[in-house]
Amino acid sequence: MEIINFDDTQSVVSQYMAELRDVTVQRDMMRFRRNLERIGEIMAYEISKTLHYAKKDISTPLGISHCDVIDTRVVLATIFRAGVPFHQGFLSFFDNAENAFVSAYRKYKEKENFDVFIEYLASPRLDGKTLVIADPMLATGASMELSYRALLTKGEPAHIHVASVIASKVAIDYIKSTFPSDKTTIWVGAIDNEINSHSYIVPGLGDAGDLAYGIKE
C-alpha cells in the first residue's frame, strides 16, 4: 500500500495546511472551506497522473490534434459534512466523474465512548472503477472503513484512493490493516502522531465540520 504524504515535500500545500491549523485564520469559515478545496484540487491533479489515458483525435479550427484523455471511470465519494468542500476540490478537476455520498457519524454512549454509524448512502455502481474516498480528518480510521464497507454494497472498485487532509498515525495503521493493500493508495496532507481521549487528532486542527459550517448543536 502506497502512502503519499505531502508534508514530506515543501509546496504550496504547506501554506494551506498552516492556515487550516491556525486558530486565528480558522475564524474565516470561507477561507477554511477554500483551503480544504484547494488541497482537494492538488490531490486530484496528483491522482490524475496515476490514471489510464487513451489517444483521441480532437478537431481544432485548423486541423486535428492527437490528445491524451482520461480512460478511467472515476467515482468521487465523500463523507458528510466536513468532506463537502474537500470533495468539491476533486470534482473541480474530475468534472465528469460520478459521485457518491456517505453519512457517517459518532453516536456517543458516554463522554469518551462512541460507535460510528452509517445513516445515508447514495452511490453509482463501482465495479471496475477507480474510487476516491475523501474525508479531511482521519482520526481513528473507523468512519473511513465503515464508509468503504457501505460503498462495497455497490460493487468492487478496481482501485481505491483514500484522501485526507490530516491523518493520525493510528488511522494510517488501521487503514493499512483493513483496506486491500494491493489496490489502495493513501493521500494525506500531514500525519500527526497522537489522538486524544476524545479521538481527536493532536495537534490536528479541531472539528473540521464546525470550522467549515459552524458549530452544531
Predicted confidence band of residue 116 (pLDDT cuts 50, 70, 90): low
Predicted confidence band of residue 104 (pLDDT cuts 50, 70, 90): confident
Predicted confidence band of residue 101 (pLDDT cuts 50, 70, 90): very high
Does the pLDDT of residue 107 top 70, yes or no?
A: no
Residue 214 falls in which region: left (phi positive, over 0), alpha (psi -120 to 50) or beta: left
Global pTM reads: 0.93
Predicted confidence band of residue 94 (pLDDT cuts 50, 70, 90): very high
Q: What residues contact 139, with CB distance under 8 A and at least 6 apart?
A: 167, 168, 170, 171, 195, 199, 200, 201, 204
Does the pLDDT of residue 108 top 60, yes or no?
A: no
Return the beta strands (E) in 87-139 as ranges.
98-110, 113-122, 130-134, 137-138
Q: Tell me if 138 sits within 8 A of 116, measured CB to CB.
A: no
